[in-house]
Structure 1
Amino acid sequence: MQRKAKASAYQYIYILVFTIGLTSVCTQAVLLRELASLFRGAEVSYLIAISTWLVLGGAGSVMAKRMFRGVKPGFLYRLGIIVAVLPLLSLIGIRLLAGLFVSGQLLGPGAVVLLALASLAPYCLVMGAVFSVACSLAGRRHARFVYALDGLGFAVGGVLFAMAILMLDNTSVAIALMALNALILFVISIISFRKPLASGLPATASLLLLIAILLFMHSSRISLKTLQQAFPGQSVLGCTDSEYGRIIVTNTSGQLNFFYNSERIFSDPEAQASEWVHFGLAQLNPRRILLISCSPDSAYEALKHNTAVDYLQHDRMLLEAMAEFGVLPETGRVNIVRADAIDFIGRAQEYDAVISCISSPSSIQDARFYNLEFARMAKTHMSSEGVFMLSLPLSGEYVSSEASQLYSTVYSTLKQVFSNVIALPVAGVTLIASDRALRYDIADAMAERNMTAHYVNHYYLDKTLTPERISRLNSSINPAGPVSTAARPRAYYSYLQEWLLIFNGPGFIAPFGFIIAGIVLFFIVAGGGILNVFSSSMSASLIFLALLMLFQQYHGVLFSRLSIISGVFMLGLAVGSIVTTRASRNNKNSRPEARAAHELLSVKGAVDLACIALAMLLFIIITRGIHIGTLLIYMLSSLCGAIVGAAFSFSSHKSEPSRLYLADACGAAVAGIIMSLFVPLMGLEMAVIGMAIVKVISMFR
């Protein structure tokens, strides 16, 4: 009877671990996306937040091991109830903390770390405690199975989240996942306790939590109220989440402002920004032009040139928001196109001008439009003397060495494709490229066509496009600078270097460098299974994060696919853990020393070789500029997860699960910090080489 009761307790522990793993991927995707929306959607904020998430989870696991000894299953259910309610509190906390900053304000890496710590700490610490308590209740022998079930739940949740996000926004998904968690906790409590009303707390608390969450689902005003904190002096009219980012519409004294990931992309009306298109269109007599992610008024300015206008926005939800608030260009005069610019331009008709209003290469998603591949594709679908124009939103008055590197990179990239490239100190820095001769006297070109504009005229440009300013800008540009490509997005790296410089990057990065060196040294000295898990997790996670960045580079929809790719990684982790566990059980050698040696040589050797092989493959992909498809990214992500799962499983019989969990989390966190802060400075190739060196050292410890 006792054996049956113990088996039943195991079942409920496993169900609870699977459920929390299932909902944690949704929580992670929602909270990380919420943080990223405050930092203009930059992937570096994802990486820093993920590193913070992992370290806090590992710390929670170790703390729980020391604090909660001899607990019963009911304690795990209570932790589950806390886990169910924390996502909503964290979501509200992020939005309230965002009120400390003005929306549109450029935030530095320090703000990313502080916001991530403050908002993620409660949830991640409790999540780590759940894993530790579950392993304690299940016993060290079953710790590997708990680890695998957590990964399996994460994988299933990733698929469910990807499906849900197509129909619901971030807040609704967060509420729905909490309701699911609370419902399952309630059912488990009812089944596992003979007298739920007598034992009371787990079942009653779960039921009340479920009712509160369901009531909250019907209050959309609360979501807007929490967002209002970040927009002082403005009225938030609407908010929606798309597969690309967060769209917020505000009103200021009758002017509509559209924000995309906390960055204002345009206002209506707004004359000066919309007239920027004339700098490119005045170079020729266009018949058909393509505007990419420009303001609505830009389309009307372009119509002054008696040309057909294709107005492209990649985000369907943004077009719907523009239509809802009455600022979408009239379809009778402008052809509205909803498509990713890279996909569309590859099958588009011929244009005389392609004008990209992408704000900056501040994210890998936007940096795609500053790469060599996009410039070549645009030229392929342009007339023989067509014009290509883009801008960089940095001041042309004072040019730092990092800004100079950015200008030189984009200039050199365009020069690889077009015969002529000119740089103008307007709208930050404007770059115009073509095979035709280009002119600086834009005001004269406008006057020759009897065209009028509020700002693009002699009164304004005679003071803006002076020979001195043009000469100063050109002297800062190196025509033989590096070229930005999909495999090596140097425009993105240069922008990040400028961003780090603004916020005292060297002073911020140096402490992280010492911290990483200290962590690596600590685990190298520790040796054994802990070092194996740390080095395997760091190596596999670095490769996995690089795959995420490559996916974003090629497809630009990382947010909507992040949960699936992460789920595939965790599925590989679960499979690697289970297969290794079964292999260990099938080892019939009667001598424990011989069994351990067999596992060490077979499993550890396979893990080490797989890590080094993947590192070599990634190095070749980066250096050769090889385009890899989505299916291959999924397969490699799964293999990365299998490496981590196998390393954890074969080390679990020698070390405490909580310590291994911390080593796993620290390894992945180090990979995240390297990818976010050090790769822009030294390149991904050097990071891969460094990772391979650490892995080789671990092979001999």
Structure 2
Amino acid sequence: HPGLVAVADTPYCRVAVTSMADQVTVYTDNALAYETEGHEAAGLVHTTALQVDAPRRILVLGGGAAGLVREALKHHPEEVTYVDVDRRLLELVIPRLPDDDQASLRSGTVQIVIADPRRFLDRAGRYDVILLGMPEPSSGQAGRYYSREFFRQCAAHLAPGGALGFRMRSSENLWNQVQAMRAASVFHALESAFPDVLVLPASESVFLASNAPLRRDPAVSIERLECRGIESPLVTAPFLRYLYTNDRGPQIARRIAELPAIVHTDGRPIGYQLSQILWLSQFFPSLGTASPALSGLTQDRIAAGDQGGRRVRSNRAWRAFLAVLALMLAFAGSVVFRRRGLARRIVLVGSAATIAMVLESVLILRYQVHRGILFRDIGTLLTLTMIGLAAGAGGVDRLTASGSEASHRRSGPRTISLLTGGLAILAALVGVSAALPATHGLVATGIGLFLTGALVSAIFAQATRTQTEDPTRVIAPLYAADLCGGCIGSIAAAVVLIPDLGFGPTSWIMTVLALGSVILSLGSTGRALPAP
């Protein structure tokens, strides 16, 4: 980064700060977080606060150092509470901010709280204005601040007649299909928590929500702007009049409201997938017009934007299709590979690797969504996974050493059946626990990762000893199957299964696939492979 003045690793991200002339720019994980010369903070704060008669208590969740606190103080509140999860980031950034930003954060009206915003809301009071300064939902960590569950938390702590506001990068004039779908997924999440929601399109569109009717007449906001004596280079009477009365607003509102997109939730973070597709569309423009079928829409026909009104499958049909397909493949494999021991074992190892990788993705992403501190704990979680891998393979080796090789060749298929059955039980437990937030902590997630690693490595180790007197003949193809299966599972989980179906249904599909592997393993004949 040109002009780099500071860089540090925090428990949540890597922070880099640059300074050129009077502009300070902050990057988190090499992505632009905010800079001090823009006017986006003023647009969000004033548009939201002018919806409220008297914003006495203002809550700022993230982004306070980006100017939200400075602009919020212009409404003369009695109290501004700024909540940020990353103490190290603030210690690095605040001393390098312009003088007016530093002064606003040191004001006696401002209280800075270092805490996870979602946990803070569990014990917070009521606020007249809630401002979200979080990054876009382009990761599991950021996406947790745009979910239905989070918005319901905010609604519970919003005073009567209060307003919530945040902004999302979009396009002022024309939204492609993916932009509209992402906005719709967040819009519908807001609708599930607030009776009135309004979107004001711009290069960074402002989303407003309230437990009372929002004022769409700019005259009210203009009058309050003048009465409060607010001076802003961006937010002026003509700006507010244009923002509320231009013809793009109603068009975008109709398109978002009519587009039957999935609601962004903790258990189904569809905004994560759509943000990634939107970013990729900068390099592959055709992705911007991708079919909404990728998002598992729940209605038969796309109401807006989908050329030709193509029909899409419902979530239920999609899940049923995957489940039936898994069973069909299992039965077909059992027949086709019944007399082909090596091919059968390749399929078993590959499917076990796929299941394990999907379950690991579910467990890790679920932990990040509910705790928001994956960067700090990822080393611990991966260590537990590796310990499980070592324990599973070591357990099989110890078991083999305790008896004759012939007896283990005879009992090998039964052992693999038990191990794949254990993988099915684990997948089912992960599916059940998806609706139990108490099971999403570090201990439960670590145990799940340990068991996943132990089972998949035990299956691999046992497969090398089943039906052959020379394990070295099968290690290479089985290892290749293990790597390919893990690759397939990783891509499927990140791109399709978790965003489209959510944590619970994804785990249940893996349960069905594991049961199919059990059926396939029962087709073993126990014969040794012929000598080379």
Q: Fold conserved (TM > 0.5)? A: yes
Question: Which residue of the partner structure matches residue 445 of structure 2?
Answer: 633
The answer on whether the counterparts of 1:314 and 1:338 sit within 8 Å (CA) in structure 2 is: yes
Question: Which residue of the partner structure matches residue 485 of structure 1?
Answer: 265
Question: Which residue of the partner structure matches residue 214 of structure 1?
Answer: none
Question: Which residue of the partner structure matches residue 548 of structure 1?
Answer: 364
Question: Which residue of the partner structure matches residue 48 of structure 2?
Answer: 280
Matched residue type, 1:313: D
Question: Which residue of the partner structure matches residue 267 of structure 1?
Answer: 35
**Is 1:311 the equivalent of 2:129?**
no
Matched residue type, 1:490: I
Distance 1:626 1:241, change over 3 A: closer
Question: Which residue of the partner structure matches residue 561 of structure 1?
Answer: 377
Distance 1:319 1:463, change over 3 A: same
Higher relative contact order (CA 8 A, sep 6+): 1
**Is 1:457 the equivalent of 2:236?**
yes
Distance 1:362 1:453, change over 3 A: same
What are structure 1's unaligned runs of at least 5 residues? 1-230, 511-516
Distance 1:264 1:495, change over 3 A: closer
**Is 1:470 the equivalent of 2:241?**
no
Distance 1:326 1:414 in 2: 33
Deviation of the 1:554 alpha carbon: 0.4
Distance 2:177 2:23 in 1: 37
Distance 1:423 1:457 in 2: 19
Distance 1:679 1:499 in 2: 20
Matched residue type, 1:643: L
| Superposed CA offset, 1:133-187 (max 9, x none) | xxxxxxxxxxxxxxxxxxxxxxxxxxxxxxxxxxxxxxxxxxxxxxxxxxxxxxx
| Superposed CA offset, 1:646-694 (max 9, x none) | 1122123344344433332222222111122233664346655664565
Distance 1:584 1:563 in 2: 32
Distance 1:272 1:561, change over 3 A: closer
| Superposed CA offset, 1:504-544 (max 9, x none) | 3878999xxxxxx9xx9999885243333222122112111
Matched residue type, 2:439: I
**Is 1:290 the equivalent of 2:103?**
no
**Is 1:372 the equivalent of 2:148?**
yes
The 3-state SS of whatever aligns with 1:477 is helix
The 3-state SS of whatever aligns with 1:395 is coil
Q: Of 206, 212, 216, which residue of structure 2 is paired with 1:430?
A: 206
Distance 1:467 1:505 in 2: 28
Matched residue type, 1:316: R
The answer on whether the counterparts of 2:273 and 2:499 sit within 8 Å (CA) in structure 1 is: yes
Q: How many residues align?
A: 457
Question: Which residue of the partner structure matches residue 321 of structure 2?
Answer: none
The answer on whether the counterparts of 2:44 and 2:166 sit within 8 Å (CA) in structure 1 is: no
Range 394-403 or range 685-694, more displaced: 685-694
The answer on whether the counterparts of 1:483 and 1:490 sit within 8 Å (CA) in structure 2 is: yes
Matched residue type, 1:477: I
The answer on whether the counterparts of 2:268 and 2:499 sit within 8 Å (CA) in structure 1 is: no
Deviation of the 1:424 alpha carbon: 0.8
Question: Which residue of the partner structure matches residue 607 of structure 1?
Answer: 419
Question: Which residue of the partner structure matches residue 343 of structure 2?
Answer: 527
Distance 1:634 1:369 in 2: 24
Distance 1:396 1:390 in 2: 16
Distance 1:272 1:692 in 2: 47
| Superposed CA offset, 1:562-621 (max 9, x none) | 111111111111111122222222235xxx5443121221x2012110222233333444
Question: Which residue of the partner structure matches residue 99 of structure 1?
Answer: none
The 3-state SS of whatever aligns with 2:59 is strand
Distance 2:41 2:48 in 1: 14
Distance 1:341 1:433, change over 3 A: same
Q: Give 1:490-509 correspondences, 5 Å limit.
A: 490-504=270-284
Identity rate of aligned residues, in percent? 23
The answer on whether the counterparts of 2:262 and 2:270 sit within 8 Å (CA) in structure 1 is: yes
| Superposed CA offset, 1:333-356 (max 9, x none) | 421121111111211222111110
Matched residue type, 1:498: L
Matched residue type, 1:311: Y
The answer on whether the counterparts of 2:194 and 2:210 sit within 8 Å (CA) in structure 1 is: yes
Question: Which residue of the partner structure matches residue 395 of structure 1?
Answer: 171
The answer on whether the counterparts of 1:314 and 1:341 sit within 8 Å (CA) in structure 2 is: yes
Q: Of 485, 488, 504, which residue of structure 2 is paired with 1:670?
A: 488
Distance 1:649 1:409, change over 3 A: same
Matched residue type, 1:298: L
Question: Which residue of the partner structure matches residue 91 of structure 2?
Answer: 320
Matched residue type, 1:663: A
The answer on whether the counterparts of 1:311 and 1:334 sit within 8 Å (CA) in structure 2 is: yes
Deviation of the 1:283 alpha carbon: 0.9
The 3-state SS of whatever aligns with 2:144 is helix
**Is 1:571 the equivalent of 2:360?**
no
TM-score (norm 2): 0.78
Distance 1:505 1:573 in 2: 41
Distance 1:253 1:628, change over 3 A: same
Matched residue type, 2:485: G
Runs of 4+ in 1 over 6 A off after TM superposition: 505-510, 520-525
Matched residue type, 1:570: M
Higher helix share: 1
Question: Which residue of the partner structure matches residue 307 of structure 2?
Answer: none
| Superposed CA offset, 1:267-291 (max 9, x none) | 2344443442111111111111111
Deviation of the 1:626 alpha carbon: 5.7
Q: Give 1:642-681 correspondences, 5 Å limit.
A: 642-653=454-465, 654=468, 655-656=471-472, 657-679=475-497
Distance 1:686 1:487 in 2: 10
Question: Which residue of the partner structure matches residue 399 of structure 2?
Answer: 583
The answer on whether the counterparts of 2:273 and 2:495 sit within 8 Å (CA) in structure 1 is: no
Question: Which residue of the partner structure matches residue 312 of structure 2?
Answer: none
Question: Which residue of the partner structure matches residue 23 of structure 1?
Answer: none
Question: Which residue of the partner structure matches residue 430 of structure 2?
Answer: 618
The 3-state SS of whatever aligns with 1:379 is helix
Distance 1:393 1:506 in 2: 19
What are structure 2's unaligned runs of at least 5 residues? 292-325, 525-532
Deviation of the 1:249 alpha carbon: 0.8
Distance 1:475 1:374 in 2: 24
Distance 2:417 2:356 in 1: 15
